[in-house]
Amino acid sequence: MSARIGVAVMAALLALYILLVGQRAWLLLGSQQPAGIVMGIALVVLPLIAAWAIWREIRFGMRASALAARLEDEGGLPSDELDVRPSGRPQRDQVDELFPAYRADVEAHPDDWRAWFRVGLAYDGAGDRRRARQAIRTAIALERGR
């Protein structure tokens, strides 16, 4: 729930930022000076890029949460009991021991979004966020293409 509140706060702050920057961009575009016009265009483009990036992350989070809930309802989430650090993250050496089984599941079922989601969770537990996100993106794409 706190993550959703954080996302809502960030989205509200982005909206306020876009409004304030939009006002400045309008003034600069109306300045009729080349440098002002270029800066005004930049002030229009950069917030659009930021809004796109935030929307992409929000959409990823919503889709990943939906898949996690679906997998939990099916009883397919990993049930391995792992010791956790004070931060709440699992002990890396224990995740490393379990990882080969999840990787083998993906190799055996490359078109199964459930296997990809579980290997994404294993990557995340091992601290490899880049591969975790890629595996979960693959799971999302496979589930959507069913």
Pick the range with the lowest mean pLDDT from 17-31, 76-90, 115-129.
Answer: 76-90
Residue 41 has pLDDT above 80, yes or no: yes
What integer pLDDT is reported at residue 99 of this predicted model? 82
Question: Mean of the pLDDT values across residues 49-69?
Answer: 90
| C-alpha distances in Å from residue 24, one per residue of 27, 113, 126, 145 | 5, 46, 45, 43
pTM score: 0.73
Above 80 in pLDDT, residue 13? yes
Residue 136 reports pLDDT greater than 90:
yes
Q: What is the DSSP string of 3-63?
A: HHHHHHHHHHHHHHHHHHHHHHHHHHHTT--HHHHHHHHHHHHHHHHHHHHHHHHHHHHHH
